[in-house]
Amino acid sequence: MEHIDLYNTIFKRKSIRKYDFSVIDENTLSEISDQIGKLEPLYPEIKTEIKIVSKQDVKGIIQVDAPYYIAAFSEVKEGYLTNMGFMLQQIDLYFSANGIGSCWQGWPKPTKELRTDTSLEFIIVQAFGLPKEDLYRESINKFKRKALNQITDLESFDELIEPARLAPSPSQPWYFTGDTNIIHICYKNTNSLLSIMAQGLNKIEERLKKIEIGIAACHLWLGALHFDRKIEFIQKNNENIKIPLNFSYVISAKIQ
């Protein structure tokens, strides 16, 4: 799959919540498996396992009933959630570019058998299957997203932050700041009163936000490749970075 196809898909993709339950043919499933093997990580040293599983293999609060799911597992290391967001967003775009619908699922889990079948930690599930609704949005105006000036104070990177702005997300928690050759990405902290009241919920939200930053970083990366800009993701010491109050720093992208 060419990066250019993934880039073009950013501007029309949408989450698919209605599926046709007929089977996807073996060839297509094996192409999806090949594609999973080629996903590019943010941190190559982090071990990951990404499996295609069926409806029976997924339990919990299933908000989207689909014939297939992707279940993602990872070694627990610095940046592992963001790494998985970055990787799985490539498969979300691949699905959309190839006539298959998908939707990230923050709440369900694979069955205990699947979770204990690996030494890696379960991270997240993505539903997929043949779509039973329009696969694409007609135009960018149909995306419900914050405006660019609500998510960045940078003026020189509009063409890279625009694809990140359109990234799928339940909460659009991101903010992009930095300088003429670097973009720092951070996310909005959960309201402190809320976090005292609902600690368990807050923990899940925190995990999802780190995954969402990886998803936005994937769109930023595809934008950079499209515009022939050199991009390198780095981790800065966050004490030296100026980010807005009540935001947490995650990662920076050096751009040339």
Ligand X SMILES: Cc1cc2nc3c(=O)[nH]c(=O)nc-3n(C[C@H](O)[C@H](O)[C@H](O)COP(=O)(O)O)c2cc1C
Q: Which is nearer to ligand X, 60 or 179 (CB)?
A: 60
In whole angstroms, what is the distance from residue 203 CA to residue 139 CA?
35
Q: Which of residues 189-208 bind ligand X (CB under 6 A)?
A: 208
CB of 86 to ligand X, least distance (A): 12
The site map against ligand X for 62-91 (x = CB under 6 A) is: -xx---------------------------
In whole angstroms, what is the distance from residue 231 CA to residue 256 CA?
7
Query: Among residues 203, 200, 173, which one has the least CA distance to residue 188?
Result: 173
CB atoms within 10 A of CB 19: 23
Q: Which is nearer to ligand X, 83 or 169 (CB)?
A: 169
User: Judged by CB under 6 A, which stretch of 13-21, 149-157, 196-204, 237-245 contacts ligand X?
Assistant: 13-21
Amino acid present at 19: Y
In whole angstroms, what is the distance from residue 12 CA to residue 236 CA?
33
The site map against ligand X for 152-181 (x = CB under 6 A) is: ----------------xxx-----------
Q: Which of 103, 130, 186, 220 binds ligand X (CB under 6 A)?
A: 103
Contact 181, 255 (CB under 8 A): yes
Q: Which of residues 15-34 bind ligand X (CB under 6 A)?
A: 15, 17
Q: Which of residues 45-64 bind ligand X (CB under 6 A)?
A: 63-64
CB atoms within 10 A of CB 77: 11
CB of 55 to ligand X, least distance (A): 15
CB of 205 to ligand X, least distance (A): 10
Angle at 49 between CA 175 and CA 53, to 5 degrees: 100
Q: Which of 84, 123, 186, 211 binds ligand X (CB under 6 A)?
A: 211
- Element (H or E) spanning 217, and its range? helix 199-226
CB of 13 to ligand X, least distance (A): 7
What single string gives the DSSP state of each residue in 45-77? Answer: TS-EEEEEEEGGGEES--SS--SEEEEEEE---
Strands lying side by side in the sheet with 182-188: 174-178, 182-188, 247-255, 231-234
- Element (H or E) spanning 91, and its range? helix 80-97
User: Judged by CB under 6 A, which stretch of 51-59, 100-108, 113-121, 180-188 contacts ligand X?
Assistant: 100-108
CB of 202 to ligand X, least distance (A): 15
Count of residues that bind ligand X according to CB under 6 A = 18
CB burial of residue 230 (10 Å; 0-12, 13-18, 19+): exposed
Q: Which of 135, 161, 215, 255 binds ligand X (CB under 6 A)?
A: 215
Q: Which is nearer to ligand X, 143 or 247 (CB)?
A: 143
Under rule CB under 6 A, residue 14 binds ligand X: yes
Residue ranges that bind ligand X, judged by CB under 6 A: 14-15, 17, 63-64, 103-107, 143, 168-170, 208, 211-212, 215
